[in-house]
Chain A
Amino acid sequence: MLPTINYCAERRILSVFLKGELDHHNTRPIREQTDIAVTKYRPALLVLDFSGVTFMDSSGIGLVMGRYKRMHDMGADLLIANPTPPIERLIRLASVERIVRIVYTAHSGTVKE
């Protein structure tokens, strides 16, 4: 079973709601689907929402850094939204928060299919 992403695009903001286990196996299709949406909407801001992510290892860090480079090259921004505590810990361990800002939104954890 391959993971799918949900996303919504409004004005020039693309929000991608990541879901499931962000390991090496699952990251590839998630990356491909995210990049397809980025190519389609050319957002000024990409928001990666982690509220539905139940596990993450360094593959998730690779995904974030790869999207950061891509958005940076397009002159666009990237935000990380709503990571759970263990995921935020991993993000900080990798010092990603020095270049990508982490935000928490009111609807955190209530994203539906």
Chain B
Amino acid sequence: MKTLKNHIKLVFPSHSENEGLARLAVSGFLAAEGADVSVIAELKTAVSEGVTNAIVHGYRNTHGLVTLEIKLFDSGRAKILIKDKGAGIEDITKAMEPLFTTAPEEERAGLGFAIMQSFCDKLRVRSAPGKGTTLTLEKYIYKR
């Protein structure tokens, strides 16, 4: 980690159109830094999952701001933060179980966390009911 090489921060309202905008920001930032194409595809998917969760679950029946922050370190590690100030998660362990979803009637697959975990080197979830959720995704972005 250590020295910060580049950094962007994007704050946007929880409209579902912005899921695509978040993906564009991630792929644009990483491509400009010369990241590996398969890493870009994986992080794009992971960010799409995290941002969708903020919009769909965090701000269910309400609106708010989603923050997406990407930090790139000299070591080649990217740290991505996805933050909402919405509903929060009661039981994080349960929420992270593959196929678990609180919205089956909307055809949510319950695989968002599983995909984020499998496409990143590290995933951290901090959440408190009524306060919101912050995800921290980490991944080495160059060809190994």
Contacts and interface: CB of A to CB of B under 8 A. Distances in A.
Contacts, number: 59
B17 A25 contact: yes
A36 interface: no
Contact of B109 (A21, A25, A62): A62
Given A23-B19, A59-B52, A93 B118 contact: yes
B112 interface: yes
Given A23-B52, A24-B19, A24-B56, A58 B107 contact: no
A58 B111 contact: yes
B31 to A, nearest CB: 15
A68 B55 CA distance: 26
A36 to B, nearest CB: 16
A24 B20 CA distance: 10
A58 B112 CA distance: 6
A18 B20 CA distance: 17
B41 interface: yes
Query: Counting chain A CB atoms within 10 Å of each CB, which of B23, B55, B56, B109 scores highest?
Result: B109
B17 A61 contact: no
Contacts of B20: 21, 23, 25
Give the interface size class of chain B.
20 to 34
B24 to A, nearest CB: 10
Q: Is the interface of A mostly helix, strand, loop or mixed?
A: helix
Nearest to A66: B107
Interface in A83-106: 86, 90, 93-94
B49 interface: yes
A31 B106 CA distance: 11
B55 A24 contact: yes
A86 B41 contact: yes
29 contacts: A23-B19, A23-B52, A24-B19, A24-B55, A25-B17, A31-B107, A55-B44, A55-B45, A57-B45, A57-B52, A57-B112, A57-B115, A58-B49, A58-B108, A58-B109, A58-B111, A58-B112, A59-B108, A59-B109, A62-B106, A62-B108, A65-B109, A66-B107, A86-B41, A90-B45, A90-B115, A93-B111, A93-B115, A94-B109
Given A55-B45, A62-B109, 15 more contacts: A21-B20, A23-B23, A25-B17, A25-B19, A31-B107, A55-B23, A57-B48, A57-B52, A58-B49, A59-B108, A59-B109, A62-B106, A90-B115, A93-B111, A94-B111
